[in-house]
Structure 1
Amino acid sequence: MHAPGRRSLRAPALRHALDLAWRLLRGGGRRGMLGSLLTLAAVAVSTGLLLFAVGANHAFSQRADADAWRHPATAKGTAGAIEALSTDSVRGKPIAVVDLAALNGDAPVPPGMKSFPKPGDLWVSPALADLIKKLPGDQLAKRFPAVTGVLGDGALVHSGELVAVAGHAPSDPVMKAGRSSDLGVETVASPKAIDGYATGAVSTVPQIYQILAIIASVLMVVPLLVFGGAAARLTVARRDQRLAALRLVGATPGQVVAITVAEAVLTAAVGAVVGVVLYAAAIPLLTQITIGGGTWFAGDLWPGVWVLAVLLAVPVLVGVSAVMGLRRVVVSPLGVARRETPPGMRAVRLVALAVTVIAFAGVSGGLTQLGRTGAVILVIFLGMAFLAINLVGPWVVALIGRITVATARGPARLLAGRRLVDDPRAAWRTVAGVALTGFVAGFLCLMNPSMSTLNGESKDRLELTVPASQSAEVAAKAKERLAGLPADVTVKKVEPDGPQDGPQAGPQDGPRDRPKEGARHSTVAATVSGGQQNVDRARTALTGVVPGQPAITEADQTGETYLLGDLRTGAFTVLTVSFLIAITSAGITGASAVLDRRQTYAMLRLAGTPLPVLDKARRQETLIPLAVMGGGSVLTGLFFASPFAAGFGFSGALTLVAFVVLGFAGILGASALSRPLLRSVTADPAPRPD
């Protein structure tokens, strides 16, 4: 004879599994529904932050395309135009100046414009148009002809970018003059015949930002995936008891798996949709994060079709993680029903972390010389380090529990130690978020350079690089144009083997373009006093002295002004996201742990254990492993960042101290939220099993 209902339990149809999963969700009572809501909240947070990481990479890709079109791409067919790029500056902000000349009627229309610019036309970005109207003409407007039109968003990296597109005739000297290559970040390009515009990350700066975005994504996504996987195992004890009961009355392993997957996927699907809504609502705030000198277009942060990929991937991840936790139920349902302690974990888990650390130590010395390949290797090692820490975490927690039991001098410490030994995986899930954030903080505190490294750069010395034979002529023109301004014009001759000062050469005829590498040339410099306004007046006055070459300062040439600041901004953004993951994880998993153990807590309360002792034990169960694993994770992060350290100093130390303070404060705050729930579950003298 089969047990009642056994035929329906063995029914292979997915409809029966979904129906039973839905009944279990609805029939779990108020606390059962609370557990499901905790899982839904965890999935929603995970989805929203995962979309943030995906959206950031999508945004940097869009920025790379917006920058690429300005860099002339060699024509593969019949050239339709000539393109050149130079970089001017106003008020310390760069102005990208794109010079275009049509060779025939097939000239490609630039992004953000309705037609190819005619000779004399000038199209500018909205921000540059505002500055032209706002600033006095001798500081900016006189550098350009009258404005013809305003560029659309497709031509801009960000809304505040300063861009000018000027139309010329092919015979214009500007379209024949070479551009100075002194700027080390590829913000200049000599005239080149083109048949279309480049796409992708073709210059150094977008490539650097894309690499940094990938590294930041790994630092955020791996803890996020760990949190998302843990979300599927929230209220695991309650679920295991129910499923073990189903196994004991005749359900097959396949049916148990189907019910679990259906229940997890139903919850995760709703949570994923909520996460997408949360991310969409946060985009207006995210657009205000300043990277690369400006904020973001909202459309760049929306990852498009990747949203559907995330909506499908998150429920699958949660379902797989839930199934992975079913081994005990499927293999030994009676052991689960009798609440037997699972066998302890082995020290072999340490091997994964040791191998990762040793392997990284062996290759880290040469990563900085490998460029993008080195960045890929670093990303792989970061992912391996996260996974190794997550693997070794439960084993270390169990070890901490045994030491805590052996050294306990009070009931609270003893209870905490016994809980760590009894279920180290659940205890690790509570502290994993902050422990992994410790790795992020340790890694990023060495990537937090001080802006003082740029303090020695000259911002009032304008320079023009010319052939040595033209230095006197250019210097004379510069003095003439700067008449009336507090400026001192000098000439420095530069030999192929190095610079040396010398007398001015007499005027000679010759080409005005940039001399070939190794040729003798000179730098005509104008040191301007009186502040930024006079420097901008001098820039305007020197426009056109050397065709295609704006006067630049030493600060203009570094290209690191934004990058160093963005390293700091990126570090704080990643840390903020990581802390959000960690604190949310601690709060949700802590509340779930109370629900899982509500019968145990209630029985201890009935046996006479004071509620403050139970609460203290619950706190110590979190704080003791957190102190050990958090410190170890910080040291591991420092080790992995050491080959790429950009400077520790005060800002790095401050970041590290802030992590320790905020991490513990966040955990204490998240733990305090579970205190009312503990009081509630211990108030019932006869707790009803699920």
Structure 2
Amino acid sequence: MTAAAPSSTPGSVPAPVPDARPAGAFATAVHLAPLFARRRDGDRLALALPVAAFAVVTALLLVVLGGAQAFFGWDDDLAFTYEAFAIIAVVLLVVPLATVGASAARLAARRRDERLASLRLLGATTGTITVLTVLEAAATALVGAVVGVAGYAVLAPVVGLLRFRGEALGAQMWVPWWWLPLAVLGVGLLAAASAVVGLRAVVVTPLGVRTRQRAGTAHWVRVVIAVGVLLGGMVVMQMLGVLGNLGGVVAIIGALAAIFGGMLLALDALGPWFVRVRARRQARKAQTVPRLLAARMVLEDPKAAWRQVSGVAMTSFVGVFGAVGLALTQTTSTEGMDPDEQWLMQDISTGVLVTVAISFLMVACSVGINQAAGTLDRAAVHVSLDRLGVPRSVMSEASRRAVMSALWMVAGGSALCAAVLIFPLVGMAIFVQPIAIVTALAVFAAGFLAVRGAAALSARLVPGILARPERVL
């Protein structure tokens, strides 16, 4: 490894030194990778979590793509309608799937930040650190993706039992064989890109990473972006008729897909700012130790706190569309319709239920991995509080409050954004239908239970951390 250039200021951190020998950096990283992969017992769960998440992401991604491509095999008058619904469902599900995959990659990167920072302080070049990060992130993702392909092979026949237009999907659920390596490669690239983005803190401020002095940030610009996307979506929804005249049905479907996907990304950008503002207010008004600790946990890293509940935000957004879709099928009279149109009404209900079910699988995966990651990341804090004599019940309550404090507002806000976007298309009458209300409440209840259950499971990691405090650096 090439030593970093010395700094003129005593005690300062060496500035990043570009690697003049890329081949040397790659060879060094390859030699370090096996040693770097030898994790201690306390880190094995941190390795298993992202692998499991990548497996779920890959399996669900292939299932979603398989179901969507099945709809493109029809060529009658209603074929285009089914294709439109398939595109919308893919957008509503692929964006959250990508978010879960990125969260898994960030978890894997965060768990090795300290070791990377130590290498950086010892003189490892930026090139060596970057190559080492990409190799480990890609290897973790590829292992999970291969497991996910096996999971898809198990799920595809089960999902193939679903009936659309009176017939089971069956073999139509199988995607072309060459899609499989592309999916694995895509998941690996997503992990590598997310890891490199997260590497900036290690390269720029390795001493801050090593001494746990990183402060989470969430800039107000996120609010401007999210509001801009929402207002732009509302304007486009009002102009769907004009778009239809200019570009036909294809333009309308493209606009809807862009609006829904853009809003999901905007919600993911807005969330950290919202939880930071709320935590600041709670910290000022806290009257008990658990409330104060919970607020400080959120302020330590608002982005990490948001990721612990972001799955519910995404599902609430999708759930509103599911509730509206079910209400439309219940309120639309089938009298005078031909058999194909009657099948369409029934198939919309089936598609809505499948979409919501997949979104719940993503919620379970997302909240599970992010809350466990949060517990592992706060291991040193738990050990310090335990040594200071803080009761474990107080730590558990603080962790629970840190997760649940903003959940109501997060879920309600995302559902409101979905309602605002879809209101110009369906009007208020659909939202007050009993089936729509019941579906929305069921989505909220299931999402809250998933978060609460994941919080309870992640709390079980604390006794193991406190039992072996010497393993926390």
TM over 0.5, yes or no? yes
Partner of 1:392: 270
Work out the CA distance in 2 between the residues paired with 1:335 and 1:456: 65
Measured at CA, do residues 237 and 605 of structure 1 come closer, stay the same or move farther in structure 2, by a change above 3 Å?
farther
**SS state of the match for residue 247, structure 1?**
helix
Work out the CA distance in 1 between the residues paired with 2:275 and 2:239: 35
Deviation at 1:15, TM superposition (A): 4.6
Work out the CA distance in 1 between the residues paired with 2:22 and 2:182: 33
Measured at CA, do residues 456 and 636 of structure 1 come closer, stay the same or move farther in structure 2, by a change above 3 Å?
closer
Partner of 1:609: 390
The alignment status of 1:42 with 2:53, answered yes or no, reads yes
Measured at CA, do residues 2 and 437 of structure 1 come closer, stay the same or move farther in structure 2, by a change above 3 Å?
closer
1:294-345 C-alpha deviation (Å, 9 max, x unpaired):
2112244334321121111100001000110111111111111221133633
1:343-375 C-alpha deviation (Å, 9 max, x unpaired):
633211111111111112212123256222111
Deviation at 1:61, TM superposition (A): 1.8
Work out the CA distance in 2 between the residues paired with 1:344 and 1:584: 25
Is contact 1:292-1:566 (8 Å) kept?
yes
Match for 1:17 among 13, 29, 33?
29
Match for 1:580 among 354, 361, 369?
361
Match for 1:593 among 374, 379, 389?
374
1:377-434 C-alpha deviation (Å, 9 max, x unpaired):
0101111111111111111111121112112121111111001111011111111111
Q: TM-score, normalised by structure 2?
A: 0.90
Counterparts of 1:247-646 in structure 2, within 5 Å, are: 247-342=120-215, 344-367=217-240, 370=244, 371-449=249-327, 451-453=329-331, 457=335, 554-556=336-338, 559-645=340-426
Letter in 2 for 1:667: V
Measured at CA, do residues 681 and 403 of structure 1 come closer, stay the same or move farther in structure 2, by a change above 3 Å?
same
Is contact 1:430-1:585 (8 Å) kept?
yes
1:86-140 C-alpha deviation (Å, 9 max, x unpaired):
xxxxxxxxxxxxxxxxxxxxxxxxxxxxxxxxxxxxxxxxxxxxxxxxxxxxxxx
Work out the CA distance in 2 between the residues paired with 1:383 and 1:555: 33
Work out the CA distance in 1 between the residues paired with 2:218 and 2:372: 25
Is contact 2:60-2:358 (8 Å) kept?
yes
Letter in 2 for 1:33: R
Work out the CA distance in 2 between the residues paired with 1:450 and 1:10: 59
Deviation at 1:613, TM superposition (A): 1.0
Letter in 2 for 1:679: P
Partner of 2:468: 684
1:546-584 C-alpha deviation (Å, 9 max, x unpaired):
xxxxxxxx3437x43111222211111111111110111
Is contact 1:591-1:674 (8 Å) kept?
yes
Measured at CA, do residues 292 and 415 of structure 1 come closer, stay the same or move farther in structure 2, by a change above 3 Å?
same
Is contact 2:216-2:302 (8 Å) kept?
no
Work out the CA distance in 2 between the residues paired with 1:453 and 1:383: 27
Q: Which has the higher strand share?
A: 1
Partner of 1:58: 69
Largest Rg, 1 or 2: 1
Measured at CA, do residues 235 and 320 of structure 1 come closer, stay the same or move farther in structure 2, by a change above 3 Å?
closer
Unaligned runs of 5+ in 1: 69-202, 458-553
Q: TM-score, normalised by structure 1?
A: 0.63
1:55-82 C-alpha deviation (Å, 9 max, x unpaired):
12221123x2xxx3xxxxxxxxxxxxxx
Is contact 2:379-2:472 (8 Å) kept?
no
Letter in 2 for 1:384: G
Unaligned runs of 5+ in 2: 5-16
Q: Which has the higher helix share?
A: 2
Partner of 1:466: none
Instruction: Give the fraction of aligned pairs with identical amino acids, expressed as a percent.
Output: 36
Q: Which runs of 4+ in 1 moved over 4 A?
A: 1-4, 450-456
1:27-70 C-alpha deviation (Å, 9 max, x unpaired):
x20122221111100111111111112112221123x2xxx3xx
Measured at CA, do residues 12 and 204 of structure 1 come closer, stay the same or move farther in structure 2, by a change above 3 Å?
farther
**SS state of the match for residue 204, structure 1?**
coil
Is contact 1:590-1:674 (8 Å) kept?
yes
Measured at CA, do residues 227 and 209 of structure 1 come closer, stay the same or move farther in structure 2, by a change above 3 Å?
same
Partner of 2:434: 650
Partner of 1:669: 453
Work out the CA distance in 2 between the residues paired with 1:316 and 1:45: 16
